[in-house]
Amino acid sequence: MGKISLRFCRLQISLAKLLAAQFFVLMVPVPTYGYVCNVPNEWFRGLNNTRAHTANGALWPNGVVKYTLHSSLSNRDRVTIWKAFTEFHEKTCIRFQPRQNGDPDFTEILTDDDVCGLAEVCKIGGYQFTKFGQGCRNVETMIHELGHTLCLYHEQQRKDRDEYLSFQGCPQQEILPIEEDGQDTSTLGLYDYASQMHYQCGFCDGGWPRSPSVTKCGDDATTGLSLLDADNLNRIYNCQGCFRHRWKKMEQLTSQDRKNVHSFGYKNSFGYLYPCRALVNGEIAVGKYSRSRRVCSVSNQGKLYELKHGAEVLTIPGGRTQRGATYKLVRSGSVSPNYLVANAVNAGRLNEAEGGAQTFIAYATLRKGFWHKEDVIGKVATFEGELGNAKFSVGERELASENYFVLTCT
Ligand SMILES: [Zn+2]
């Protein structure tokens, strides 16, 4: 469902029209509240097989979504939809393919000016729809609705959302409920204010961020799929090749996961170093994980955080090379910035105050005097396609270096 403000939507839609549309489309009991722009998931209750993120049969096989385009779509709409597809094609292994004769399960993409956006959650079998309408016929709404089609729920309805959002002062009926079903809490990743599946903040349905460093959510914060949206889809659909890396909760690493963490030979006095990341002050901060100490060290605004919980560690199932896809470190000066930006493993995100740019994993050996050297892991951000200096936390300080390695996959 779209993420435009409630008030706008309510002005647009009469209750009678809303109920008529709802009855016609979904044929479920009339809820006591509801809005077309931000349809509560109650609308989907009663539809079989649509609840679980990853229930058998609810995912699209091999991540291939068959679609048809309704004849009512304008050329401009078609370009918008194509741009949304491109986001998925570039950042995940999801593929949108035109329905061929005999494809039983498919989604029809269409406009409907009675809604901002609307789609069933997951593959429901046979015909389903993905729609966007008046005032919302844009790339972000289409990405959001296609996210539902692919089995993503609203980020602000996660079980742990109350740790991240406040709904103080909101009438109960305006607060979207936590999704009780279909959420495997153990696989929830870092909370993502910037997800396209998050409503805009500053309204009762999107909530108010508890982190003072965050004021924007959803398409206010991000164009396209967010980093964590892409990670989420790549995990749910078990994407392979250069999409096979997985970020695992530090405290839940299994022995198999530990085999899949990779040091790339980086070692300091505490042992080998592995990349980790955590949500700190609105930043998805990348840093180093010490296996021996079981601590993720990240820096944010010049301050060092040593985390024992809530951080994620990078694992690369299948090893560094699998079926021609190889993860490796590339020296910053040895290739063009464009090459690095195109092939670097996306890992983190700067906070709003720093522009919200994506960050990659940077490795460096920092030297102090002749004898002392320290291997570190930090972050490097991209600004308008160029890479800046990489930043590393060392002790209580943050150091910048133009000589570093970037973790890439080709
Ligand atoms: Zn939605």
pLDDT digits (tens, 9 = 90+) for 285-342: 999 998 888 999 998 888 889 999 999 999 999 999 999 999 999 999 898 888 998 9
Amino acid at 239: C
Residue 299 Cα to ligand 1 midpoint, Å, equals 34
Proportion of the chain above pLDDT 70, given as a percent: 84
Q: Which of the listed residues 178, 211, 239 is the one where a domain comes to its end? A: 239
Q: Which of 206, 239, 272 is the last residue of a domain?
A: 239
Cβ atoms within 10 Å, residue 285: 30
What separation in Å is there between the alpha carbon of 15 and the centre of ligand 1? Answer: 20
What is the pLDDT, as a whole number, of residue 41? Answer: 40
Q: Are 211 and 252 in a shared domain? A: no
* Tokens at 292, concatenated: 């021996």
CA nearest to 358, candidates 396, 324, 387, 393? 387
Could you list the residues known to form a binding site for Zn(2+), using ranges. 144, 148, 154
Residue 373, classed as helix, strand or coil, is: strand
Same domain, 11 and 148: yes
My answer on whether 197 and 301 are in the same domain is no
**Sign of dihedral through CA atoms 257, 284, 273, 230?**
positive
Range of 191's domain? 1-239
CB 389 within 8 A of CB 380: yes
Closest CA to 147 of 179, 120, 125, 111: 120
Same structural domain for residues 374 and 231?
A: no
> Ligand 1: distance of its center to the CA of 125 in Å?
20
Q: Are residues 390 and 293 part of one domain?
A: yes
211/228 same-domain check: yes
Q: Are residues 234 and 304 in the same domain?
A: no
Helix, strand, or coil (residue 280): strand
Highest mean pLDDT among 65-79, 164-178, 325-339, 383-397: 65-79
Do 82 and 8 sit in the same domain of this protein? yes
For the chain, the domain total comes to 2
CA distance 202 to 170: 11
> Which residues are marked as active site?
145
CA of 145 to the centre of ligand 1 (A): 6
Same domain, residue pair 259 and 280: yes
Check: CB of residue 408 under 8 Å from CB of residue 395: no
Boundary-marking domain end, from 239, 256, 288: 239
Q: Are residues 231 and 257 in the same domain?
A: no
Apex 197 CA angle, 131 and 280, nearest 5: 165
Task: Give the CATH number for residue 79.
Answer: 3.40.390.10
- Residue ranges for the known binding site are 144, 148, 154
pLDDT band at 270 (very low <50, low <70, confident <90, very high): confident
Do residues 218 and 78 both lie within one domain?
yes
The pLDDT, as a whole number, for residue 183 is: 59
Q: What is the pLDDT of residues 39-96, one digit of tens each?
A: 334 343 333 333 334 444 488 999 999 999 999 999 999 999 999 999 999 999 999 9
- For 172, what's the count of Cα atoms within 13 Å in the CB-facing half-sphere? 1
Same domain, 223 and 334: no
In DSSP terms, 312 is beta-bridged to 249, 277
> At a CB cut-off of 8 Å and minimum separation 6, what does 110 contact?
69, 70, 72, 73, 129, 130, 131
